[in-house]
Amino acid sequence: MHDDRNLVEARLKRVLDERIRPAVYPESVPLQVAVWHAPGEPVPVAEGLAGVPEPIAVGDAWGAPWGTSWFRVTGTIPQGWAGRTVEAILDLGFDENMPGFQCEGLVYRPDGTPVKGLNPRNQWVRIGAPVAGGEEVRLHIEAASNPVILDYHPFVPTALGDKETAGSEPQYRLARMDLAVFDESVWQLVLDLEVLGELMHELPVEGARRWDILRAVGRALDVVDLQDVNASADAARAELADVLAVPAGPTAHRISAVGHAHIDSAWLWPLRETVRKVARTTSNMTALLEDEPDFVFTMSQAQQFAWIKEHRPEVYARVKKAVSEGRFVPAGGMWVESDTNMPGSEAMARQFVHGKRFFLDEFGIENDEAWLPDTFGFAAGLPQIIKAAGAKWLLTQKISWSQTNKFPHHTFQWEGIDGTRIFTHFPPVDTYNCSMKGSEIAHAARNFKDKGAARHSLAPTGWGDGGGGTTREMVAKAARLRNLEGSATVEWESPAEFFAKAQAEYPNAPVWVGELYLELHRATLTSQAKTKQGNRRSEHLLREAELWAATAAVRAGFPYPYEQLDRIWKTVLLHQFHDILPGSSIAWVHREAERTYAAVAEELNTIIDGSQRVLAGEPTPGRTLVFNSAPHARASVAAGAAAEAVRKGVSRAARREGGGFVLNNGLLRVEIDGRGLVVSAYDIAAARETIAPGQAANLLQIHPDFPNMWDAWDVDAFYRNTVTDLTDLDQLVAVEDGGVAAVRIVRTFGDSKVTQLLSLAPDAKRLDIDTEVDWHETEKFLKAAFPLDIHAERYASETQFGHFHRPTHTNTSWEAAKFEACNHRFVHLAEPGWGVALVNDSTYGHDVTRTVRDAGDRGTTTTVRVSLLRAPRFPDPETDQGVHRFRHALVPGAGIGDAVREGYRVNLPERRVAGGAEVAPLVSVDNDAVVVSAVKLADDASGDVVVRLYESDGGRARARLTVGFAADAVVATDLLERPLTEGVQPELADGAVELSLRPFELVTLRWTRSAARG
C-alpha cells in the first residue's frame, strides 16, 4: 500500500479547521449589547448591575487598562430552535493563545447570581438544553480589561504594569456576541478526531496501530458531508468507534489527571484582580463538576479560598458543597504557594499552620501533601517543616525548567538537612497547564524516568497562571484516553489518591539529599530589594511582637492580640507568594507591597512598644532597659529578657600609613585603605588575617545584567564576563558615634551614589557595614565582594531551621550551575579551628568562588559576594530605583554558632525602653546551639505558652529548657500545636525539661500554665 500519511493528515487538519469545528454552532443570531464602564476600581455586583449602560457593537473598542466594564447582553431565542441546545457565545476580544493573561469576565444572571467565567478558552454559556423557543435571554458580564503584559514579543518594558502609568487607551475590541445552536454530535466528532489525530502523530510509523487510526480517520472524513457536516457527524463518528474502543496494553503508563487552575496570587496583575480571577475560575469549575461526574478538581492556597469566602460568598457556597462531595479538593495545606528559598524558619512553618488550619476549620480536611508546582526551587530545610505540619508528600513541576542538568527522577524521596524524607513527585508531563493533548500525554510516558520500577504519574490539567482551569474539552479528551491503545491511561483522581498509589508501588524510591535547586530564575533572590527587605523585617518584628506580647500576657495580664497577629501573619505570608517575594511581579504589586509592609511594621511596633512598656514599669531616672529579642544573650542581657546593658572595651580610629584609617577594639584590627576598601581584618587573638593577600574586601562591583529572557527572574552566567570595580572615592572620613569608631565612605558611579559606614563595636569581633545606595542604574547588577584568605571546599548558608552546605568548587555541571544561591542571615566558611561569617539584615542572593594564588604563599582565596541590587526593566521598568539601606557584618574567627548568633543580632536590634523593672526571660535554654525560634501563646487562645526551638550547629545537642512561669504540664506538638502521637514526650521537672536533639532537629513544646497563671 502506498504511504499516504501526509495526505490524510493534511486533509484532517483542513477539514477540522474549516468545516467541522465551525459546524459545532451551525446557526446563530446576534445579541444586543450595552456597556457601563465602572469608574476607578471594581465595584460591588449590585452597583455593576445597576449601572446605566450605553449601546456598544461588535468591533467597538472597550476597556482602559485595569478597568472594569459591565456588559448587558439581551436577546430572544428563535422559535425555530425549539428542542435544541442553545448557548451564548461571548467573545470579549479574546486571543485564544492567552488564557489567563488578558481580558476576562464573570457572567451573572439579572439577580446577581454568578453563572461562570469567561476566558479565551471558555467563551460559552449554556442557555438551555433543550429550549422551547421564544425565551428572552438577559445576562450581565463583569469584564476586566487587564492589559497584556507578557506579549508575543516577551519581556518588552511596558508602563502597563501600574495603573498610575498605564494610560486610558482601550485594550480590546468586542468580538462575537451571539446566541447559537450547539450541535453536540459535531462537538463529539471534533474531539474524536483531535484525540486520534494527536495520538497518531505520537505512534511509530512502522507500528500497525498508527495505520489503523490513519485508515479509520480517512474513512470518517470520507463520510463527512462538507456541505452538511451536522447531518453526517454521527455516521463519521461510527467509523471511528472501533479504533477508539481498543484498550491500552497492560504495561501502559498510568496518569492521574487532576483538574487544576494554577492561579498566581499576584504576578502580571495585582492582588485585587486575583480575587476576581479566583471567583471566575471557581465558578467555572463548580459548574463543570455538576456536568461531569468523573471530573475531580483541586485548588491550593488557603488565601484564595478565604478571598472567595469574603468577596463571593455565593460562589464559596458552591465550592463548599463540591468539597463536601469530595470532588473539589483543597490541596497543599499552605496559605499561598510561597517561595521556599527566602521565607524564614517561622514564616515557612506558619505557611502550613495557617493553610492547614483553614482547611481543617472550613472543610474538616487534613492535607497530606505540599502542592507547589511553580515555586522556584526548594530549600533543604523544607522536608522537616512539611513533616512537622503533619504532611508527607510534595508535588512540584518547576524543576523541569532547569537549564543545565536534567533531574534524574520523577518520583523519589527527598531528604532534608535533618534527615527527614518526603515522598516527592515531579510530573513528567512537564507542565502544570496540561490540556490533554496527545503530545503532552505521550511526553509524560516517554519522559518518566522511573520506568521499570514505577508506572504512575500526575498531570495537573487546566489552564493556569492567570487561572481559567479545566475545560469541558479536556474532560472529554480524558474520557477517550481512559483506556486507549497506544496511549498512557488517564483517570481523574485527587492528589491524595495519586500519591497513595505512587508510594505503594514505589516503596524504595531513590533518595535525593539536599536542596532542590532550580537552575533558572536565580535573580529572584535579589530583584525588588524593598519587597525582600519588607519581608525580612516583618518576620523579625513578628517574632518580637509574639515574644513580648506573650511575656507581658503571662507576667502582667497584657491582652494578647490573637486576632491582630493572625491577620498580620496572613498578610506577610501572602506576600511570600512565589511571584511577590521573588520580585517578579508588575510595578503595581511591589509598590503596594511596600505600603503594606510599612503598615505591618507600624502595627507590630505598636504591639511591641505596648508590651515592653507594660513590662518595664514606671520610668526610673537615668535608667534605661535594653530588651533583647534575640535567642542569645548580649551585653549581659539574657535572651528574651530586659535589663541594663553592660558594655566593655573601646574602639578607636587612627590614621593608616599610606592613606585611610585603622579601626581597633583589641579584638579585631581593620585597615581601610585610601580607596575606602578593607585591606585587612586581623583577628588579634588568633593572629590570623581574614582578607586574602593583595585583595580588598567590601569592594562594590557592578556588572551589565541583560539576561536572554525572564529579566526580573534570571541572571545568566555570562554576566560575570564584564565587571567594573567601584573604587573612585568622593569622601573618606573617620567618625565616632556613642563610643563606636567608624569610617564613612561616599562614592558616586553612573547616576547613583553609595554611602557606607564601616564601624567596629567596642566589644565585638565583627566589622559592621551599613550601606545606603541611591540607585538609578538600568540593567545593572551590584555586588559587594569579600575575598577571604581561607581554604574551604564547602561553605554553609543559613536556611530554615539550620544551614546547608554547598561546594565552593565547580567539579561538575551541578556545582557550576549554582553560581547564584540563597542564604538567610549568614554564610559561613571555615578551615578546622577558624572561620569567617558574613551576615546580613535583608539580602539573600550571593555567590562564592575560589582561586589558588600563583605567587607568594600559594594559598586559596575564597571570595564571597553578596548581591545588593539589580535593575531589570521587565515586568517593572522602574525596578529598585531609589534609596535602599542594607546592613552586613564581617565576623572573623567565627564558628557556626557565632554565625547563627550574629545573624540574629543584625536582624533583631536591641530596643531601649525607660523603665525600672527588669524582665526575666519567659523561656531559657542553657545551650547556645539550641535556638528558640518562637515564643507565643497558643493559637486556640487557651493561654498555653508555645515554644519552638531547633538545633542550629548541625550536631547533637543536649539542653535544659526552663520556663519562667508556673506550669502544670508540657507536651511536644506538631506545628499546629497538636500533641504528637509518636516519639517520647518530654518530662516536666521543676519547671524545666531536658532535651536531646538530633542535628537540626525542630521541636515544638506546648506548656500548660498553672491555674494561678503565674
Contact between 454 and 502 under an 8 Å Cβ cutoff? The reply is yes
Nearest CA to 85 out of 124, 118, 58 is that of 124
Contact between 738 and 846 under an 8 Å Cβ cutoff? The reply is no
10 is written with which cell numbers? 493534511
Neighbours of 151 (CB within 10 A): 15
Say which residues have a Cβ less than 8 Å from residue 614's Cβ, sequence separation at least 6.
Answer: 552, 556, 558
Q: Where would I find the H helices in 437-471?
A: 438-447
Give the whole-angstrom CA distance, residue 783 versus residue 887.
Answer: 14
Contact between 863 and 881 under an 8 Å Cβ cutoff? The reply is no
Give the whole-angstrom CA distance, residue 347 versus residue 385.
Answer: 11
- On the CB side of 105, how many CA atoms lie within 13 Å of its CA? 29
Which is catalytic among the residues 151, 374, 566, 939?
A: 374
Contact between 468 and 119 under an 8 Å Cβ cutoff? The reply is yes
Give the whole-angstrom CA distance, residue 579 versus residue 263.
Answer: 11
Give the whole-angstrom CA distance, residue 502 versus residue 368.
Answer: 14
Distance from chain centroid for Cα 107: 30
Long-range CB pairs of 933-937 (<8 Å, 24+ gap) are: 933/345, 933/346, 933/543, 933/631, 933/801, 934/346, 934/543, 934/546, 934/547, 935/546, 935/547, 935/550, 935/551, 935/640, 936/546, 936/547, 936/549, 936/550, 937/546, 937/549, 937/550, 937/553, 937/560, 937/562
Contact between 840 and 543 under an 8 Å Cβ cutoff? The reply is no
Query: What are the CA-CA distances from residue 693 to residues 473, 697, 858, 892 (Å)?
Result: 67, 11, 10, 15
Backbone dihedral angles phi then psi of residue 156, each to the nearest 5 degrees: -85, 125
430 catalytic per annotation: no
Q: Where would I find the H helices in 628-782?
A: none
Neighbours of 755 (CB within 10 A): 18
Query: What are the CA-CA distances from residue 411 to residues 256, 281, 397, 450 (Å)?
Result: 14, 30, 11, 7
Give the whole-angstrom CA distance, residue 513 versus residue 100.
Answer: 36
The residues pairing with 114 across neighbouring beta strands, listed in sequence order, are 108
In which residue are the cell numbers 479536556 written? 474
Helix (H) / strand (E) element for 116: namely: strand 114-118
Query: What are the CA-CA distances from residue 22 to residues 99, 126, 226, 477, 847 (Å)?
Result: 21, 18, 11, 19, 56
What letter represents residue 262's amino acid?
Answer: H
- On the CB side of 813, how many CA atoms lie within 13 Å of its CA? 7
Q: What sign results for the dihedral spanned by CA atoms 8, 14, 18, 24?
A: positive
Give the whole-angstrom CA distance, residue 333 versus residue 461.
Answer: 20
Give the whole-angstrom CA distance, residue 999 versus residue 628.
Answer: 26
Q: Where would I find the H helices in 203-228?
A: 208-223
Nearest CA to 253 out of 397, 456, 447, 458 is that of 456
Distance from chain centroid for Cα 337: 5
Distance from chain centroid for Cα 643: 40
Give the whole-angstrom CA distance, residue 317 versus residue 248.
Answer: 40
Residues assigned a catalytic role: 374
